[in-house]
Amino acid sequence: MLFISRLSKFLQIAWFSYIALWSAGASANASTVYVGPNHAIRSIREGLQKIKAGDSLIIDGGHYKEGNLIIQQAIVFMGINQPVIDGNLEFEILTISGKNIVVSGITFMNSGKSATRDYASIKCIDSENIRIENNKILNSYFGIHVSNSSQIHIKTNWISGQAESEQTSGNGIHLWKCNHALIENNHINGHRDGIYFEFVTESSILNNYSTENVRYGLHFMFSHKDYYARNTFIKNGAGVAVMYSREVTMESNHFENNWGAASYGILLKDISDSWIFSNTFDQNTIGIYIEGSSRMVVEKNLFKENGWALKVQASCNDIQFQYNNFLANTFDVATNGTNVLSRFNQNYWDKYDGYDRTKDGFGDIPYHPVSMYSMIVEENPNALILLRSILIATLDKAEKAIPSLTPENLVDFQPKIFPNKL
């Protein structure tokens, strides 16, 4: 399938880049320079001045405060015995601008913070074929900030901030105007956005854990032909947002416990030609909120114990919802209009009380997942106070028998009797 071939391409690029870099480092003229309290060279800055392209700089255990360090040539910059590089809350810690660079095994902490400058623990500018892996980044403004770069591999980093508000914090992993990036196996918490993509194309986000960020666990803007899978987003301020993008594949991610007046498992705004497949939306205020989007397939997802499983605004069109399971949600589907241009097919609804006389696994009567009460709440949120009342239950039953307020064309003509296999 398309997304599998795309992913394989990204992995191959990262792997061949890695081999090429190490081949350069293993050339006859390459050398290894050690820095540390027990070595001849005790300063990282001095070590950087002594090495040349293809060399390795090994930073031994110790606590280093050396201002802003700059790498502009192809080297391996690696820590052993848990070295700490401290920005002293004043400086950007490491700036990279070049090709074929590895940064690994180092703890970066206390980068500078500014309302006007994007200070970061690690910043990549105009770079290519960069690997940033197995690092710890603590108490930073931006954790890893990458701009105008390609073939970036950010892997197995622990990035933990202390954000208090959107205005006073940066993002954990931030990419702007990049392509062919691979972001995998990172743990990010305590930032404005856990992972942020803007103008990023043909890139993958895999197996990351993003939690307790002030705004979004993941934030996409104007980023096309990207793929993200098997990520976990828990307890983020507003959940996840994918905006103004096309050809995005979202597979096997877990969205959990994103609660708040403006929180979602995922917000989809003005996106198109995308696929949302095999994800879990568990205990969110809204599982998926979709606005101004078109030509999408939402299939084989689990919506469980959300306030609203889906909010599909009337500005959407040509969205296919199929083979999903809806379990124990307060509302399964809500919308803000009567003209619905999306389709529902062969979903399982635990609120469906029809029958299957033909024993073909499908209900004999169509299911209208939008309740009259959800339409009332959409217009008047204060009506939620009546959620468990007998009056509301009676009105909903009457609306199902003789629909008058709910959208007539928002209907699943083949509701499943038993849950779909996801």
- pLDDT 10s digits, 236-256: 999 999 999 999 999 999 999
Averaged pLDDT for residues 395-408: 58
Q: Return the closest-CA partner of residue 56 out of 87, 27, 81.
A: 27
Q: Is the pLDDT of residue 7 over 60?
A: no
Give residue 381's Cα distance to chain centre.
29
In a domain, 416, yes or no: no
Provide the pLDDT for residue 8.
42
State the Cα–Cα distance between residues 112 and 215, nearest whole angstrom: 21
Burial class (CB within 10 angstroms; exposed 0-12, middle 13-18, buried 19+) of 39: middle
State the Cα–Cα distance between residues 281 and 255, nearest whole angstrom: 5
Q: Which residue has the higher pLDDT, 177 or 383?
A: 177
In a domain, 410, yes or no: no
Phi, psi of 84 (to 5 degrees): -120, 130
Predicted confidence band at 111 (pLDDT cuts at 50, 70, 90)?
A: very high
Burial class (CB within 10 angstroms; exposed 0-12, middle 13-18, buried 19+) of 209: middle
Provide the pLDDT for residue 22.
47
In a domain, 121, yes or no: yes
Q: Which residues pair with 166 in a beta bridge?
A: none
In a domain, 125, yes or no: yes
Q: Which residues pair with 70 in a beta bridge?
A: 95
Averaged pLDDT for residues 121-138: 98
* Percent of the chain residues topping a pLDDT of 90: 74
Question: What is the amino acid identity at position 335?
Answer: T
Averaged pLDDT for residues 81-98: 96
Give, to the nearest 10 degrees, the angle between helix 372-379 and helix 390-401: 120
In a domain, 385, yes or no: yes
Averaged pLDDT for residues 270-298: 97
Structural domain count, the chain: 1
Provide the pLDDT for residue 167.
79
Predicted confidence band at 194 (pLDDT cuts at 50, 70, 90)?
A: very high
**What's the chain's average pLDDT?**
88
Provide the pLDDT for residue 71.
97
Lowest mean per-residue pLDDT among 4-13, 100-109, 380-389? 4-13
Q: Which residue has the higher pLDDT, 396 or 17?
A: 396
In a domain, 412, yes or no: no
Report the sign of the C-alpha dihedral through residues 133, 280, 336, 414, in that order: positive
CATH code where residue 91 lies: 2.160.20.10
Cβ-contact 207, 232 below 8 angstroms: no
State the Cα–Cα distance between residues 281 and 156, nearest whole angstrom: 25
Averaged pLDDT for residues 100-105: 97
11-68 tens-digit pLDDT: 444 443 444 444 444 455 789 999 999 999 999 999 999 999 999 999 999 999 999 9
In a domain, 106, yes or no: yes
State the Cα–Cα distance between residues 58 and 251, nearest whole angstrom: 39
Q: Which domain holds residue 78?
A: 2-401
- Beta-carbon-side half-sphere exposure of residue 336 (alpha carbons within 13 Å): 14
In a domain, 224, yes or no: yes
Predicted confidence band at 393 (pLDDT cuts at 50, 70, 90)?
A: low
Provide the pLDDT for residue 384.
60
Predicted confidence band at 340 (pLDDT cuts at 50, 70, 90)?
A: confident
**Rg of the chain, C-alpha, whole Å:** 25
Q: Is the pLDDT of residue 380 over 70?
A: no
